[in-house]
Homo-oligomer: A and B are copies of this chain.
Amino acid sequence: MATTLKDVARQAGVSHTTCSAALRGLPNVSPRTRKKVLAAAQALHYNTNLSARMLRSNHSGLISFVVPDLSPTYYSMLSVELAREATSAGMQLVVQQSQHSASEENSIIGSALSSLADGFFVAPVAHYTDEDLSMLIGDKPAVILGDFTQTTRYDRVKSPNSEGVNSAIQHLRQQGCTSIGIVGGMTDDKEADIPEGSSVLTLQGLRMHAAMDALADLYHENRESIVNERLIDVGWNSDEGIRAANLFMEAGMPYDGLFCLDDEIALGMLHGLHEAGVRVPEQVKIIGFNGIRHSAISTPTLSTVEVDLPGMASAVVSLLRRRIEHPDVETLPQKVTVGTILRARESTAAGNV
């Protein structure tokens, strides 16, 4: 059996209340008592039982990051930043994977998590309605990675999809591309058709829409024909990137610039093209999105729209803190859009196309 507060109290010769106060550093404990208690706790290897603390006081010092899964390097890099931020704010990050299942996600948010953590940060896989979300999250401090079609009660943090998409496309044009295609769809989202009434888009959906809009604008066509003619619709991972490369070549390489919605896709694409002897950037220029670390060391190195992950992490944690520390204050929901920077690398170098 683990040692409890009572054991420490007995050892130190004080009541368990005083003991608790001493350990938590509350002001109303005499230095002498505190020292005794600390010594006893140390000697007995006491550790607070977080379940008990949470049950009683509704705070555990944990914040949870709910993510589809940790495969995308983007999410694992973000986890690292979030953990760092959380720790420096005196909290601990835990990461949970919904495994792309909406029901798993629901159960994580609803039960596993909300009764253990002080707040959470979700990169949703499901397309929630406003009502769904409120039902699920209740009063818990939460930050959503993504955007809403209607305003709601929750804080949001997002990467600047339109700006990022535009700067990527502009970059391709500056480097001499005249016909640009998009790689990456929404196929990873469990419900391909967005259900009636849903008001939350996932990261994939948001970025895809932004890309479609940008191209529709550029080529003066409607979104639908862009989808039909300029989209290579694949999942967001490197295997799908390889598949995209094959689709592109089978179609006779109709574009001289490819914007991949995610770096993992782009890296797969680079590999697929290289295998087939297609030269990048000479025959086709490639740019990705997110700025994962492997993009800096691929051959050729991958141009990308790098997302400010430390900035995102710090925004998330401060939004959560704001609500955790002042749960009573009516706080209006806030939307933070983090910055990006365009990393121009070899994969889009100008030259004979």
Contact = CB atoms under 8 A, between A and B. Distances in A.
A297 B267 contact: yes
How many copies altogether?
A: 2
Contacts of A276: none
Contacts of A71: 76-77, 80
Contact of A47 (B2, B45, B114, B238): B114
A78 to B, nearest CB: 9
A93 interface: yes
A210 interface: no
A80 B76 contact: no
B79 A70 contact: yes
A80 B62 CA distance: 21
Chain A interface size band reads: 35 or more
Interface in A69-119: 69-71, 73, 75-77, 79-80, 83-84, 87, 92-97, 99, 104, 108, 110-112, 114-116
A115 B51 contact: yes
Interface string A252-294: 0000000000000001101100100000000000000000011
Contacts of A179: none
Given A92-B108, A271-B297, A51 B55 contact: yes
Interface in A13-64: 45, 47-52, 54-55, 60-62, 64
